Structure 1
Amino acid sequence: MNSRRQIIFLTTSFIIIAILTGAKLALSYYSTEKATQTTLAKQYIAIANTIAKGLDTDTYEKFLETKQEDSNFENINKYLERNRKRINALYVYTLLLDNSDVAKVMAAATPEDTGSFTIGLPCTVPPKQVQQAKEGRVYYTDIIKDASHGVYLSVGVPLYNDSGKQLGVLAIDIDASKLESISEEVINSNKVIFTIDILFAIILLLVFFTLRKWHKNSVKQELHESEFVYMSEMSKVMSSIKSSRHDLMNHFQVLHGLLTLKKYDRAADYLKELAAESRALELSLRINNPVVLILFQSKWELAQSKNIELHFDTEPEEYSRIESMDLVKILSNLLDNAIEATEAYSGERARKILVTAKTEGSQYVFTVYNPAVLTSKQQKCLFHKDGYTSKENPDALRGHGLMIIRRTVNKYHGEIQFKYENEVVSIQITL
C-alpha cells in the first residue's frame, strides 16, 4: 500500500513538473515573440518618423487634390521607393484617413514582383490602429497574415504639413516571417536553462521525498523506542507487583504466626519495621517531576526485590526542558543496567546504587554509581558499540537500551561520561 502511494505521489509530481515546465516554455515563447515584435516595431516607428519628416508635403498635398497618377504622384512614389530599398521593407506607403474605420492607400513603394495598385485601395490595417492614427498617435499591429501580402508587421506615424495639419499616415510594412524563427532560436538557446530548471525541480522533489521518508523513519524509530521503554517498564512494574505481593503474603504469614502465638509486642515491632521500610524511599526522594518520581519509585521497588540498596540524591527540579519520555528512556535504561550489574556483582563492595540528579547552571546532570567488575574490552565498548552488553549471556534489549541512551543524549546535544575505578562504575549524563 505504501509503495502504491509512493508511486502515485511520484507520478503526480512528475506530471505537475511537466505541466509547469511546458507552461513556462509556452510563456517564454510568447513573451519572446512579443518582445521581438515590440522591439522591431519601435525601431521602424523611428524610421517612419524620419521618412515622414523628409517627405515633400507640398507635393503630397497637390497629389491629394487630384488623386491622379501625375508628376506629383511619381515624385512621391520615387521618394518612398528610395526609402523602401534603403530600409529593406516590404512596403512604404501613405494612408488617407476618412470617416470610416478603413484607411485608403494613396501612394506606395512596392516590390518589383508585386502588381500595380489602385489609388484609394482599402488597407488591411485593423480598425484599432486606424483609430489611433486618427487621434494623431503612432501605431503598430500584431503579425498580420494575408493571402496576397504574406506575413508582415505594420507600423504607422502621423503625417503633418508645415502648418501642423494631419495629411494622413506614413506607414511601413515589415516582413515578419522571420519573427517566429527568432523566437524559436531564443527558445533553442535557452534549452540548457530549461533543462537545468527541470533537473532542479526533480532534485527538489527527490530531496523532499527523501526528507519526508527520513522524517517518517525517525518518527517510527522514536515510536519504537517509546514502545520498547513502555513495555519494558510495564514488565518490570508487573514483576515488582508480583514480588511485592509475594513479600506481602510472607509478612502476613509472619504476623499471623506471631499473633497466633500471642507475641503481641513482637508483632508490633515487626509492623514498625515494615512501616519504616515503606517510608525509606519517600524520605530520601525529593523531585517535582511526577514521571521521573514514579520511575524512581518503580526502580526502587525493583532493587528492593533483588536485595539491592538504591539511594537517590535529587533536587526539587521539574526538568521541563527535557521531554518526559526522553528522561524515562535515559534514566530507566541507566538504572536497569546498574541494577543488573549490581545483581551480578560478587565482589567485596556493598550491593548499593546511588543516583544523583542535579542542576548545574542551565544544564541537568544525572549520575549513577554502582559496583561492577569490567574487563578492559568491556570498558572500551560500553556506549561505543551498538547492541553491546557486558553480560555473559547477551540480552539484545540491554544493548539496545545503551544505544537508546546514546541517541537520546545526542538529540539534546548532551554528553556521556563513563568512569570505572576500584570496581565502581559511574555514568554521568549532562543535558
Structure 2
Amino acid sequence: MNSRRQLIFLVTSFSILSILTCSKLALSYYSTEKATQTSLAKQYIAIAENIENGLDTAAYERFLQTRQSDASVIQYLEEYRSRINALYVYTLLLDDSDVAKVMLSAVPSIDDRLPIGFPCTVPAKQVNQAKKGMVYYTNIIKDAQHGVYLSVGVPIVNDAGKQLGVMAIDIEASHLGAISDEVINSNKIIFTIDIVFAVILLLAFFILRKWHKTSLKQDLFESEQMYISEMGKVMKSIKSSRHDLLNHFQVLNGLLSLQKYDKASEYLKQLTVDSKALDLSLRISNPVALILFQSKWELAQSKGIELLFDTNSEECYQMESMDLVKIFSNLLDNAIDATETYEGKHPRRIVLTFQAQGTQTVYSVENPAILSAKEQKSLFQKEGYSSKENTDALRGNGLKIISQTVKKYHGTIRFNYEDEMVRIQITI
C-alpha cells in the first residue's frame, strides 16, 4: 500500500512538472514572438515617419482633390519601398467606415498594383487608432493573396496640422516564426537545466520526506520502549502492592481475632497515612505523567528513598507526553541509583520540582550523591553517563537522550553539584 502511494506521488509530481515545463516553453515561444513583432513594428514605424516627413503634402492634397495618380508621389514611395525591401508602401484614406481605402501605392510589380480606393486589410482596431491621429501596428496578418505580413502606419499631416490620411508599410513576416524557433533553440540548455533542477528538487523533497518518516519511526520506537518499560514497572508495583495488601489484611484479621481493637485501629490509621503519602505529595492530572511518577515513587519507596513532588497548582507541561517520559524517566532513574548508594550526611530524599516562569517551565531534580571530579565532567557528554553500572541500554544513554530531547524544544540544561547535592535544572 505504501509503495503504491509513493508511485502515485512520483507519477503525479512528474506529470505536474511536465505540464509546468511545457507551459513555460509555450509562454517563452509566445513572448519571444511578440517581442520580435513589436521590435520589427517599431523599427518600421520610425521608417514610416521618415517617409511621411519627406512627402510633398501639397502635391498629395492636389491628388486627393483630383483623384488623378501623381507620378512624383508614387516614385517617392517606390524609392523607399525598394530601399527598405517592403512588400508595399502606400497611403490610406480614412472615412466614416471602419475600412481604410488604399490611395497611392508602391508595389513589387505592375500586376500587384492596387486601384485607387481599394479596401485595405488593416483591421478596424488599427483604423480607429489612425483616425485618432495615432501610430499603429498590426499583429501578423495571413492573407491568401499577399502572404504573411504585418502592417504599420503613421498619420499624414499637412503644414496646417490637418490629417490627410495614413502613410502605411506592409512588411513580410514569415521569417518571424523562424526567429522565435531560433531563440527557443538557443535556450534549450537553459530549459534543460530548469528541468534537471526541478527533478533534483523533487527527489530532494522525496528523500527528506522519507528521512523524516524514518526519524519519526525511530522516535516512536524509543518512546514505545520507554512506555512499555514504565508500564512493566507499574504492573510489577501493582502486583507488589496487592501482595502487601493481603499481608496487611492478615495482620488486621489476627489483631481482630485476638480482640486487640486498639492495636488494630492504630495499625489501620498507619495504613491510611501510608496510602495517602503519594496523594499528598503528588497532585498531577496528566495521566502519562501520573503513571510515570507513581512508578518511580513506588521504586524509590522500595529502596527506602523518599521521593517528593513540588508542583504549581496549575501544571505547565511544555512538551509532548512521550518526551516528558523520556526526560523524567531517565532523570529519576539516575537520581534513584545515586541516592540508593549514597552514604553521607543528607537524608535519602529526591525532590522533583515544576515551576512556571513566564512562558517557560523550569523542571529540576535534586538528590544527594557523592561524585568524583571525573564523574561530574562526564555528565551530559555525548556518550551519556550513569552513576551506577546497569545493563539497561536505555539507562546507559539516559543523559544523552535527555540532552537530545531538550534540544528538540530549544531548551537549556544546567548541572550543579555542591555539598554532596546534585541539582539538574531544565528550562523549556
| Counterpart selection for 2:350 from 340, 349, 354 | 354
Partner of 2:364: 366
Q: 1: CA distance between counterparts of 2:409 and 2:7?
A: 36
Instruction: Please list, as runs of the form range in 1=range in 2, the aligned pairs for 1:94-173 lying within 5 A after superposition.
Output: 94-97=91-94, 102-111=99-108, 115-120=111-116, 121-134=118-131, 136-162=133-159, 166-173=163-170
SS of residue in 2 equivalent to 1:125: coil
- Structure 1 unaligned residues grouped into runs of 5+: none
Tell me how many residue pairs correspond in the alignment: 422
Structure 1 match to 2:264: 267
The TM-score normalised by the length of structure 2 is 0.80
Shift of 1:171: 1.0
- Tell me the CA shift for residue 195 of structure 1: 4.3
Q: 1:288 to 1:342 in 2, by over 3 A?
A: closer
Q: Deviations for 1:202-225, whole angstroms, at most 9, x for unmatched residues?
A: 454345444544544454444434
Instruction: Show the 5 A alignment for 1:403-414.
Output: 403-414=400-411
Matched, 1:45 2:45: yes
Corresponding residue number in structure 1 for 2:179: 182
Residue 241, structure 1, aligned to residue 243, structure 2: no
- Give 1:265-304 correspondences, 5 Å limit: 265-282=262-279, 285=281, 292=289, 295-304=292-301
2:139 is matched by which residue type in structure 1? D
Aligned to 1:9: 9
Name the CA shift for 1:215/1:96 in 2 (closer, same or farther; >3 Å). Answer: same
Shift of residue 413, structure 1, vs aligned partner = 3.0
Report how far residue 152 of structure 1 moved: 1.8
1:62-81 to structure 2, matched below 5 A, reads: 62-64=62-64, 67-68=67-68, 73-81=70-78
Query: In the aligned structure 2, how far is the partner of 1:421 from the partner of 1:235?
Result: 35
Q: Distance in 2 between matches of 1:308 and 1:397?
A: 24
Q: Is the 8 A contact 1:36 1:179 kept in 2?
A: yes
Deviates more, 1:251-260 or 1:90-99: 90-99
Is contact 1:89-1:174 (8 Å) kept? yes
Structure 2: distance between partners of 1:425 and 1:192: 69
Deviation at 1:140, TM superposition (A): 1.7
Distance 1:357 1:163, change over 3 A: closer
- Distance in 2 (alpha carbons) for counterparts of 1:348 and 1:56: 120
1:322 pairs with 2:323: no
Q: CA 1:418/1:56 → structure 2, altered by over 3 Å: closer, same or farther?
A: closer
Determine what percentage of the aligned residue pairs are the same residue. Answer: 61
In the other structure, the counterpart of 2:28 is 28
In the alignment, does 2:60 pair up with 1:60? yes
Shift of 1:319: 4.7
Once residues 82 and 217 of structure 1 are traced to their aligned partners in structure 2, the CA distance between those partners, rounded to angstroms, is: 79
Displacement of 1:365? 3.7
1:311 corresponds to which letter in structure 2?
L
How far apart are the structure 1 equivalents of 2:55 and 2:326?
95
Q: CA 1:104–1:235 in 2, change beyond 3 Å: closer, same or farther?
A: same
CA contact (8 A) 2:327 2:401 kept: yes
Q: Within 5 Å, which residues of 2 pair with 1:201-220?
A: 201-220=198-217
| CA root-mean-square deviation | 3.8
- Look up the SS of the partner of 2:351 in the other structure: strand
CA distance 1:297–1:206, shift in 2 (3 Å): same
TM-score using structure 1 length: 0.80
For 2:112 and 2:332, locate their aligned partners in 1 and report how far apart those are by CA, in whole Å: 108
TM-superposed deviation, 1:248: 1.0
Whole-angstrom distance in 2 between the partners of 1:178 and 1:125: 20
**3-state SS of 1:394 partner:** coil
Consecutive unaligned residues in structure 2, runs of 5 or more: none
1:8 alignment partner AA: I
Aligned-residue offset at 1:411: 2.0
The Cα of 1:60 is off from its aligned counterpart by: 2.6
Deviation at 1:408, TM superposition (A): 1.7
Please give the alpha-carbon distance, in whole angstroms, between the structure 2 residues aligned to 1:386 and 1:24: 53
- Asked if 2 retains the 8 angstrom alpha-carbon contact of 1:144 and 1:153, the reply is yes
CA contact (8 A) 2:312 2:356 kept: no
